[in-house]
Amino acid sequence: MKKEYLLTPGPTPLPPQISLAMARPIIHHRTPQFQEILKEASLGLKWVFQTVNNVYMISSSGTGAMEAAVINLLSGGDTALVVQGGKFGERWTEIAKAYGINVEVLDVEWGKAVNPAEIGKRLKANPQIKAVFATLCETSTGVDNDIQAIAAVVKETSAVLAVDAISGLGAVDLKTDAWGVDVVVAGSQKGLMLPPGLGFICVSPKAWKLVEASKSSRYYLDLRKAKKALDKNDTPFTSSITLIIALNEALKIMQQDGLENIFRRHKIMADATRAAMLALGLELFAPTASSDGVTAAKVPAGIDGEKLVKTMRDTYGVTIAGGQAELQGKVIRIAHMGFITESDIIMGLSCLEKVLTLMGYKFTLGAGVKAAEEVFLK
């Protein structure tokens, strides 16, 4: 018998109310009943995105919303600046290149946050740059970038700022309108406590001008279609009815909690997880800008990182994430976002300690759990 604990930075666990909401009989999407649901979801999304602008729902994983951002803002031959400090920054580059966009890459060492002044320098040096693509939480390295400072720099130019907040939204603060972020992209399966399958995107008036001017071929991801439909409380194609019903449940839970409490809870879990890693003698992969949504720590010398993750999952039912791309086998990543709670973190840490011990790593058993408990008790 095995009980499953999901501590990965997407998908994340589902609150039981959300699972139950998805068990309801399906209804038709072109009905007043569903229009009410869609209206509520749209309002709730504006709240969680901290914007007065429309938030469009796309039936895709988060990457579909990233692609929507690229093709609706730019056309082939346009120039974009991509902040690239991990696997998800690279994704912006890959999508833009697929559509013939000239990409200027601002390479940031993995594990570090971008220095916003560097973005300012690049924008000054190349006034052709129409859009800057950045990442709030670079999930592959466990880094949170300073979006407020980045937006302050980009705002002063004619370029627009598009932020991948797929794993950051609902975990760390992102004041879209107040900070002047033009486009925010998110996905359902991370901080929003939903299954995968919904992408979200909001667009400022400054960026909407680019949407209207873009010559990119677009059909399913055409935001002009999405706007026309949403203005009539509709979606351009069949809505992801079940996921949108679940979204309303998630938003209800989040609204009861309040954004400030949500962010505080994430920070406490992050502090506890970071303290635990250090107490176990594990080095943080991103010591200076570590994310409040996910902690990445280096696998200690002599320990097989892939085997560690696999044993925790297959033998004990605790799923954490390993490293991606060049970090494969070199880091472990423990998520503390969405419906992941303090007790889940304690559970995950105790399992990590057990498997590390079995693999021959030397440390004081219980040190990680103790360090985390001390943070939680403060």
By the criterion CB under 6 A, which residues form the site for ligand PLP?
Answer: 9-10, 61-63, 88, 135, 137, 139, 164, 166-167, 187, 196
Q: Are 183 and 205 in contact (CB under 8 A)?
A: no
Least distance between ligand PLP and beta carbon 378 (Å): 29
Contact 139, 296 (CB under 8 A): no
* CB 353 within 8 Å of CB 260: no
Question: Would you say 47 and 251 are in contact if contact means Cβ atoms under 8 Å apart?
Answer: yes
CB of 247 to ligand PLP, least distance (A): 15
Minimum CB distance to ligand PLP, residue 9 (Å): 6
Measured from the CB atom, the residue of 133 and 208 that comes closer to ligand PLP is 133
Cβ closer to ligand PLP: 221 or 369? 221
What burial class does residue 252 get, using C-beta atoms within 10 Å of its C-beta: 0-12 exposed, 13-18 middle, 19+ buried?
A: middle
How far CA 63 is from CA of 107, 154, 236, 284, 307, in Å, comes to: 21, 23, 19, 27, 29
With respect to ligand PLP, which residue has the nearer C-beta, 144 or 353? 144
SS3 category, 246: helix
- Sign of the Cα torsion 279, 283, 284, 286 reads positive
* CB of 196 or CB of 281, closer to ligand PLP: 196
The distance of closest approach from Cβ of residue 281 to ligand PLP in the complex, given in angstroms and rounded to an integer, is 28
Find the shortest distance in angstroms from Cβ 14 to ligand PLP: 16
For ligand PLP, give the closer residue by CB, 98 or 125.
98
**Min dist. Cβ of residue 171 to ligand PLP (A):** 10
Closer to ligand PLP by CB, 297 or 356: give it: 297
DSSP-assigned states of every residue in 130-143: EEEEEESEETTTTE
